[in-house]
Structures are given as structure tokens and as C-alpha cells.
Amino acid sequence: MISGVLTLFILPLTAQAFEINTLANMPVEGDYVIGPGKIELFLDPGQSASRDLKMTNRTGQPLTIFIEIEDFTGDPVSSTRLLGKEAGPYSLRDFIHPEKESFVLAHGEKATLPVTISIPETAEPGGLYGAAIFTAKPVLTPKEEELEGAKGQVSITTRLATLFFVRINGPVNEAGYLKSFTAGKKFYQTGPIDFSVIYENTGSVHNNPYGQIEIKNLMGKTIDSLDITPYFVMPGFSRDKVIAWNSSLAFGRYTATLKLNRGYSNIIDEAEANFWVVPIKILIIGLAVIIFIAIFIWWFTSRFELRKKNNKEPLE
């Protein structure tokens, strides 16, 4: 079975020619890796740019790789939704041109695939969104294909995507805001504590909000802070970003303060969320220990008083 792993790579300024290189001593991981997962470009109407996509085969068998271009849009659950043959509201698919549409990649080989993005001169300012989809199928011998056909089996395929976010320079409608900030629950027995940050994009281009969550105890002392790295929110959609605080020593009432940069014009939204951490099991154990100690002290003192009283009785 083939599984996919999505990783990020540093983007070169210009694309290279298509090439395949062999990596020495590549272990069999049962997956393949593509990158980068996201490419963001700022282009003028009529301008073109090229970027390299990378793919490494770690499945232990040769693969045939097919490249398709689709639009994508936002999704309230998974943040993005590939649209297949359907054109998106901010369609980029007709402007993305991979150098190859298919190739074979043996185990331990790494392919570099140049992709050119060409924007027409008639393009208006705003955001355009498309994806390069990699589909991998095992390379089978004629005998293996015949056996699979006789058994009625279908080769397992895996699809991974590189997302393209293209901003056409010019005046655009950048708008969005922090919709809500909450802790997952009001009471926890132990960590992790999950914070929900819901950002709504009401503009016509994607935004990349980012920020920080500061956590204070009951005395108002800052005990920890969590960074929220930039993440994208598609125009016309909300996105729920979950940030986990993995503290195992928390106890008492806490206040979490969020400062979220909207990702444009340096506008910052602030919000607070209060929650309690009460480790019931630890409290029960502690209470049981206290009761045991109290009973032992009562038993010991009562025995001591009885012994003292007996020692004071006069002899007959």
C-alpha cells in the first residue's frame, strides 16, 4: 500500500530543467514525498514565473507519476477542497503549466519538475488559486497486471497536491477578523488544553493570520506563551485553528489572552478565554493520604494517652 507524506522545501528563485537524481542508501519507508506543499507568488498581469516541484520515491517499488492541474477553494472542515474538473471562483488552473504530465520514478530517485505560472495581461488584481496534483501508481509487469485483472483488483493510487496562491498586484479587498477564541472546555482534569481560533475572511484574497497566546495563572503571572505561525484562510470562508497547550503541571484557574494579527495592514485582534485545571484523581489521592495521616495521628495519640493514663494508676 502506498501512503503519502507532504513536506515543505525552500523555494528557489528560478526553476531548473526536469531531472531525476538517484539518492544513495534510501530506506524503504512505504511512502513518497512531494514539496513544497504551498507556493505563494505576487505577479503583475502578463508576468510569468517558474518554480520547481520535488518528489522522492521511498515506496520500495517503481511508480508512474501523473500530474494534473485543478482549482481549489476553501472548506470549513479541511481548509481546502480540490475541485476536479470544476472551475473555482478564483480559477488558476489554466495558467499553471508543468513541464511534464507523467514520468516513472524508481525507488530512491528524486525528480525535479519545473512548473510555469503564466498570468494573462487581462488579469485583474486579486487572488487566483490552483493546485498541481500528483497521482502515483505502482509500475506492474504484464504478468502482474494480468494477475490483478484476473483477481478483479484495482491498483491503489495516492494523490498529493502542491497548492499555488497567486496574488495579482493591484488594489484588492483585504478583509477579515477574529470570529471567536475559546478553550475547548471550562474545566480540565489534565492537559493538553486545546484553544480554538476561528478566523473569518470576508475579503477577495486569502489572508495569512498569525499571533500569540499568553497564558496567566490566578495571580496574573505569565507562565507560558504559544506562537501561532502564519496559516492561510481562503476568501469567503472561516477556518478553525486549534492550538494545544501541553502542560502536565497545571492546577487552578487560568486566563489565555490571544493577540492575532489579521495578516494585512498590521491589524491585531485580542480576546480572552478562561478555564480551570482540576486534577480530580490527584485530589482524591491527596485527600486519601490526608485522611490516612489524620486517622494514624488519632490512633497514635489515643494509644499514647491510654498508656500514659495506665502508667499513672496507683499500685494496690
What residues does each domain of the chain span?
A: 3-168, 176-277, 283-316
Domain 3-168 CATH (choose: 3.40.50.1820, 2.60.40.10, 3.40.50.2300, 2.70.70.10) = 2.60.40.10
Query: What pLDDT is stored for residue 15 in this prediction?
Result: 54
Residue 299, all three cell numbers: 490512633
Residue 194: pLDDT over 50: yes
Can you tell me whether residue 282 is helix, strand or coil? helix
The reported pLDDT for the residue numbered 252 is 84
- Measured torsion, CA atoms of residues 306, 309, 315, 316, in degrees rounded to the nearest 10: -80
Backbone φ, ψ for residue 306 (5° rounding): -65, -40
Decide if pLDDT at 148 tops 80: no
Please give the pLDDT value at position 302.
67
Ranges of H-type helices in 42-171: 142-151
Q: How confident is the model at residue 188 (pLDDT cuts 50, 70, 90)?
A: confident
**Residue in 162, 237, 163 with CA at minimum distance from that of residue 204:** 237
Q: DSSP assignment, residue 88?
A: P
CATH fold match for the domains 3-168 and 176-277: yes
Other C-beta atoms closer than 10 Å to the C-beta of 106 total 14
Please tell me the distance from the alpha carbon of residue 32 to that of residue 167, in angstroms, as a whole number: 30
Mean pLDDT of 212-236: 94
Fold adopted by 176-277: Immunoglobulin-like (2.60.40)
Residue 141 has pLDDT above 90, yes or no: no
Contact by Cβ (8 Å): 132, 72: no
φ, ψ for residue 274 (rounded to 5)? Answer: -105, 145
Residue 79: the pLDDT is: 87
Residue 8 confidence (pLDDT) above 50: no
The 10s digit of each residue's pLDDT in 13-39 is 455 689 999 999 899 999 999 999 999
The grid cell for 114 is 519545473
Whether 206 contacts 263, CB under 8 Å = no
Q: What is the mean pLDDT of residues 299-316?
A: 58
The Cα 197–Cα 221 span in angstroms is 23
**pTM of the complete model:** 0.78
Please say whether the beta carbons of 257 and 269 come within 8 A: no
Q: How far apart are CA 3 and CA 9, in angstroms?
A: 19
Classify strands 31-35 and 238-245 as parallel, antiparallel or unpaired.
Answer: unpaired
Collect all residues with Cβ–Cβ distance below 8 Å to 2 and sequence separation of at least 6.
Answer: 30, 31, 32, 59, 63, 136, 138, 156, 157, 158
